[in-house]
Structure 1
Amino acid sequence: MTDQTSGTGSRISEESRSRRAPRKRRRGLKITLGVLLVLLLAGGGSVYWLYSQLDGNIKGVDIDKALGDDRPEKLPTTGQNLLVLGSDSRAGAENKELGGGGDVSGARSDTAMVVHIPEGRTKAVAVSIPRDTLVTRPECAGADGSQQPSEKRVMFNSVYSQLGPACVVKTVEKMSGVRIDHYLEINFAGFKDLVDAIGGVTVDVPQDIDDKSSGLHLTAGPHKLDGTQSLAYVRTRHGVGDGSDLGRIGLQQQFLLALLSEVKSQDLLGSPTKSYKIANSATKSLTTDSGLASLKSLGDFARSMNGVDPATMETIMLPVAYDKKDPNRVVAAEPQAGELWKAIRSDSTIPESAKKSPATGG
C-alpha cells in the first residue's frame, strides 16, 4: 500500500508538528474501530442502545473453565499468545453462488493462526497451522459434555467441527506446549460484510487465479476486493500452487495483513456512521474467550496492541512434511517445529532454521 505521507517531510510546518500527539491518539482510536467515539457522539438514550447492540453481538466461550488446570505455563514475560480461528460455514444460497457448497451443513475451521505478541507489544508473528495437519487430539469434552478419548492421526480442522473451540485450544496447547492467552474466532461469512463496510481491501495477487470451485477469477497484480471476492480469496485452493491447503495459507496470511492495514488507515473519527457500521460488522462475526467478550475488554486489549504495525507482522507456516502413509496429509516437521514452538514459549526470537518447511521446499 502507498504511504500517502511519503516525501512531505520537508514541507511539514511548525503548526502541523504540534499536531503529532493528537494524531497518535487518533491512531489508537482507529484500532478500536471507533467504538468509543460512536458511543460519545450518539448522545442521550441512544448510547445505551448502541452499546448494548454492539456488546450483544460478541459471542463468548469460557475456554479457561473448559480446559481446567492441565495447561502449559504462561509466558515468563508480558507477551501474549492468541489463537485466531477462521470458521467457515458453506451452507446457504450465497455460498452456493460462490461455489462453496450451498447444501453443506455445519462449520469448519479453515484457518488457524497462533499469533505471538512478544514483550513490549511492538511487533507480532503469526504461525499458521495447515488444516490438513495430522495431530494427536487430546481427551476433550464434546458438545454434550461427555469426555471423548484422545485420538492419534486426526486431521487438525476436524477437531473444531467435532468437538468445538475449547478442544481446538487444548489440541494446539498439547502439540506446541504454548499457553494460549486468548481465543478469537472470525466467521468468514460474517467478515464479508466487514470488508464491504470498510470499502474493500486491496491485495497484490501473486499469480493468476482461475478457480471454478471458489468462483474466483483474478489476474496477477493489485486488486481491490469487495466482500464476496474476499471470501472467495481466503477460500481458494485449487487456483494456487499445487492445489493443496499449503498454497491457500499464503493468501490467507496476506489478506489478514491487508485487512488489518485497511482498518487502521480508515478515517473513523471523521465518519461516526461508518465507524458504527464497521464495528457492527466486526462484532457480529466475532467469537472470543470470555475474557474478551465485551466492548470494554476488546477496547482495552486493542489499545494495549497499539504499537503493533500490521505492515511489520511476520507470517510463518508451521514447518510440515508430507505424511509417509497418506501424501494428502502433512505432519509437523522436526526439529523445525519444535524449535519454533520453543522460541514462542520463551518469548525469544524465532531462528530462521525453524521457519523452513520441507513440504514447500522453504
Structure 2
Amino acid sequence: MAWKAVRGRGTAPGENQPPDATGARGLPGALGLTLASGLLWGVAHLWAGRRVAGILLMALYTALVTVTVVAVTLFRPELTGLAVQSDWLTRITAGLLTLGIVWAAVVIRSYQIARPFDRTAFTRTVGATAVAVLCVLVSLPLVWAAHLAQVSNDTLSSIFQAGGNGREIDRKDPWNGQRRVNVLLLGGDAGPNRVGVRTDSMTLASVDTHTGDTVLLSLPRNLESFPMPPGPARDRFPYGFTGDGPQTPGLLNEVYEYAENHPDVVPGVPKKQRGPELIKGTFAGILGVPVDYYILVDMQGFADLIDAMGGVRLTVPEDIVYGRLGEGRVKAGTRTLSGKEALWYGRSRTNSDDYVRMGRQKCLLRAVARQADPQRVLTRFDQLAEAARRAVSTDIPAELLPAFVKLSSRMRDGATINSLQFVPPLISTGNPDFDLIKSLTAKAIAASEKGATATPSPSPSSSRSATPRPHASSSPHASSSPDARDQAKPVSLDESCPS
C-alpha cells in the first residue's frame, strides 16, 4: 500500500521501485545501465519507463550514426572539400564540441535515472567517479576531433589567403574553363647561416584539371641567359638576366632573391610576393606556358615536415655523401630516412651534379606524397601542422582549396605523373635553346592530354651520369644534339625512381 501511495503522488516510473522489483538498482546495475546509455542513447530512459524520451534519444542517436556512416562512405570527396574551408571548419569545431557536451549530459542524466537506492558515501563516490570517467571517454574523441579541426583552420588560414587573388572563384567551375592548372614548386635554401632565398629546386607541375594527369617540367638552378618577363625586369635585362654583380653571375636560382632586393623590377607588388611574382613570370617566359600559382617550401622546414610524419621510406641506390668535408652519409638500401637524411638525399651534389640531384628530388616528392596516408597524418597532425606553418608559403587562394583537394585525389587514384628535365645534354645551361624548351614543353603537355604513356628509357631525367656541356658555344642551337632531342620524352616517376 505504501508503494502505491508513493506512485500515486506522481513519482516517475522506476525511480522509487524497491530494489527487488527491477534487479538493477544496485550500484553495478546502475552503472551497467549508464554504460549502455553511453553506447546507445535512451536505454536507461526506456528501462525507467520513460518511453517518449527514450525513443527520441535512440532516434537522434541512430540518425547521427547513420548520417556519419553515409557521409564517410558515399560523400568522402565532398567531406574532404569541406575540411579545407575555414567557415566549415569553424562549424565542424562548434558541432563536435556541442555533441560532446550533449553526450556527456545524456550519460549523467542516465545515471540519475538508474542510480542505486543505497546511496552511501561509498556508492556516491564510486558512482560519480565512474560517470565522470565515462563522460571523458565519450567526449574525448569529439574534443580531439574538434581540436584537429581548429588546428586545420589555423594552419590553412596562415598559409592560404582568402580573396581569390582578385578573381572570383565559381564553385561549379573553379578552374574557370582551364584545361590545365600550372603550379610552380619551389625549394628554397633559406637558413640561419644564409642571406636571402635561392630557389635551388624549381619544377612546374602542369596538371590536367579533368583527369589529374601531371607533367613535371624542371629547369636547372644554373640556367643562364634566360629572358625576363616584359616590363621593368626586361627593360633592365634586355638581353637576358645577368645578375647583380660578380657574386651573382645571373643564374635562374637568383631571380627570387633579386626581386626581393629590387622592388622596382616588380612595381606595385607587395613585399612578400615580389620574389614569387618575378620567378613565375620568368618561368612562364622560358617554358611558354602560363604559371598560375606557386608553392615555396623552405628546405629546413621540409626536413621538419619529414620528421613530423615519422620519416619517409626510400630506396637509396648507392651511398650519398654530404657536408663540406664529406662527413655525412646517407647509406644505400631501402629504409626510412629521417628529415635530415631526406633533406640531404634531395640536396647533395657531392660526387654527382645538379641534374642527378633534380632526379632524386622528384623521387623524394613522390615518396612523400604516397606515404602521407590519412592514418599517418591524423596521428601526427599537430606536428605536421606546425611544421607546415613554418615551411610553406603560397599564393593559392583559400577558396580554390576544395578544387585542389579533388584534383589531388584524382592524382592519387591512378593519374599519370611524368617528368621532363631540361638538363644537359638535352639543354646547355650556359647557352640554352629556348625554342626547343618551349617546343618540348608543348609536346609533353599535348601527350599528357592525349593520355600518352611515357617511355621510361633513356631520358635525361632518369640518367644518373648526365654531365653538363661546356657553357661556351658558337652556335645558337648547340645546346642539344639530335640524339638528345630523340631522348626528350617525359619519364614516368614510377619507372625512373628505384623501389
Please, what TM-score do these two structures have when normalized by structure 1?
A: 0.69
Select the structure that is richer in helix: 2
Counterpart residue number, 2:419: 315
Report deviation, 1:63.
Answer: 11
Counterpart residue number, 1:16: none
Q: Which has the higher contact order (CA 8 A, sep 6+)?
A: 1
CA separation in 2, counterparts of 1:149 and 1:330? Answer: 17
CA separation in 2, counterparts of 1:278 and 1:321? Answer: 39
Report deviation, 1:234.
Answer: 1.8
Report deviation, 1:162.
Answer: 0.7
Report deviation, 1:121.
Answer: 2.6
Report deviation, 1:333.
Answer: 4.7
Selected match of 2:181 from 66, 80, 89: 80
AA matched with 1:302? V
CA separation in 2, counterparts of 1:355 and 1:221? Answer: 24
Q: Greater CA radius of gyration, 1 or 2? A: 2
Counterpart residue number, 1:162: 258
Selected match of 2:240 from 145, 152, 158: 152
Counterpart residue number, 2:362: 253
Counterpart residue number, 2:202: 112
Report deviation, 1:138.
Answer: 3.0
AA matched with 2:419? T
Counterpart residue number, 2:344: 232
Counterpart residue number, 1:4: none
Aligned pairs for 1:1-362 (under 5 A) are: 22=72, 40=92, 43-44=96-97, 50=151, 53-58=154-159, 78-89=179-190, 91-92=191-192, 102=193, 104-134=194-224, 135-139=226-230, 148-152=236-240, 154-163=250-259, 164-213=275-324, 216-239=328-351, 241=352, 244-263=353-372, 265-267=373-375, 271=378, 274-289=380-395, 292-294=396-398, 297-309=400-412, 312-321=416-425, 329-333=429-433, 336-343=436-443, 346=446, 348=449
Report deviation, 1:27.
Answer: 7.8
Unmatched segments (≥5 aa) in structure 1: 1-18, 66-73, 93-101
CA separation in 2, counterparts of 1:332 and 1:62? Answer: 38
Please, what TM-score do these two structures have when normalized by structure 2?
A: 0.52
- Helix, strand or coil for the counterpart of 1:54? helix
RMSD: 4.3
**What fraction of aligned residue pairs are identical, expressed as a percent?**
21
AA matched with 2:370? S
Which segment drifts farther, 151-160 or 129-138? 151-160
Counterpart residue number, 1:12: none
Select the structure that is richer in strand: 1
- Helix, strand or coil for the counterpart of 1:306? helix
Report deviation, 1:22.
Answer: 4.8
AA matched with 2:404? F
Q: Deviations over 1:204-260 (max 9, x none)?
A: 112221223386412322121111222222211114x3xx21111011111011111
Counterpart residue number, 2:124: none
CA separation in 2, counterparts of 1:224 and 1:159? Answer: 35
8 Å contact from structure 1 (residues 322, 331) kept in 2: no
8 Å contact from structure 1 (residues 216, 233) kept in 2: no
CA separation in 1, counterparts of 2:162 and 2:299? Answer: 18
Q: Deviations over 1:125-150 (max 9, x none)?
A: 211111011122235668xxx98444
8 Å contact from structure 1 (residues 319, 337) kept in 2: no
Change (3 A) 1:57 1:227: farther
Report deviation, 1:32.
Answer: 9.7
AA matched with 2:354? D
Report deviation, 1:310.
Answer: 8.3
- Helix, strand or coil for the counterpart of 1:314? strand
- Helix, strand or coil for the counterpart of 2:344? helix
AA matched with 1:117? V
The count of aligned residue pairs is 309
Unmatched segments (≥5 aa) in structure 2: 1-68, 99-145, 167-174, 242-249, 260-274, 469-483, 488-499
Report deviation, 1:344.
Answer: 5.3
Report deviation, 1:197.
Answer: 1.5
CA separation in 2, counterparts of 1:62 and 1:167? Answer: 21
8 Å contact from structure 1 (residues 202, 223) kept in 2: yes
Report deviation, 1:334.
Answer: 6.7
8 Å contact from structure 2 (residues 199, 221) kept in 1: yes
AA matched with 1:115? A
Q: Deviations over 1:181-206 (max 9, x none)?
A: 22111122212221111111111112
CA separation in 2, counterparts of 1:23 and 1:320? Answer: 49
Report deviation, 1:281.
Answer: 2.4
CA separation in 2, counterparts of 1:179 and 1:248? Answer: 26
- Helix, strand or coil for the counterpart of 1:138? coil
CA separation in 2, counterparts of 1:268 and 1:26? Answer: 18
AA matched with 1:305? S
Report deviation, 1:167.
Answer: 0.6
Which segment drifts farther, 121-130 or 48-57? 48-57
